[in-house]
Amino acid sequence: MYIETERLIIRDLERKDAVRLYDIVWQRNVVRFMKDWSENGPSPEAFWDYIDWHQTKKNSKDVYENKRYAITLKQEDFMIGSVGMGVEDTLNEVEMAYFLDDAYQGNGYATEALGALFDWCMSVSDLPYMILTIDCANEASCKVAERAGFELFEKRTPINHKQPNMESESYYYYRKYRKMN
């Protein structure tokens, strides 16, 4: 997969991204809100099988498959984060996900990447909408969601079930609908 935006390239993960992926997933806010990435990645080499699996899916347009892509700066192919999508198991809806290197936050990169991947997903599927679930404590991510055109649908508090990767007991459920012609 390859998407070019004004400032970014969204592309398939490659083994050369393993060190950057490792560096980013061990940053404070990724560990805080997406700890499964760091728990499953104790070294850059630990991501090789994950990246290799993604390489086998690089031509897939199945938005239901859980896939992640590298977000890179357009002019230098330098990975600054990740964006992806796939079925969220507990909700049985296609969810988008993203994280960005701390040094590149606050520049609109996550919003740009999220919007571009959403548009691509709509172009290759018949989904009426996509979702984001965001820990209520993750205010910065909520701002990204809203800037990318996702609307807060509701605040959810699972009963007798703690959402994986959630710091708080509740999360915000966002939706973005396909544009109708």
pLDDT value for 160: 76
Tell which residue, 149, 140, 134, 146, has the closest CA to residue 102.
Answer: 140
User: pLDDT of 28-80, one tens digit each?
Assistant: 989 888 888 888 778 999 999 999 999 999 899 999 999 999 999 999 999 99
Q: In a 3-state reduction of DSSP, which class is residue 80? A: strand
Residue 173 Cα distances to 57, 65, 148, 170, angstroms? 28, 20, 14, 10
How many whole angstroms separate alpha carbon 66 and alpha carbon 59?
14
Q: What is the mean pLDDT of the chain?
A: 93
Q: In a 3-state reduction of DSSP, which class is residue 139? A: helix
CA 122 remoteness from chain centre: 16
User: pLDDT of 155-169, one tens digit each?
Assistant: 999 887 666 677 788
Site of tokens 């988008």: 96
CB 86 within 8 A of CB 67: yes
Q: Which pair of structure tokens corresponds to residue 19?
A: 């060190």
- Strands 8-12 and 2-4, how do they pair? antiparallel
pLDDT value for 22: 95
Strand partners, 11: 2, 70
Q: Which pair of structure tokens corresponds to residue 125?
A: 């599927």
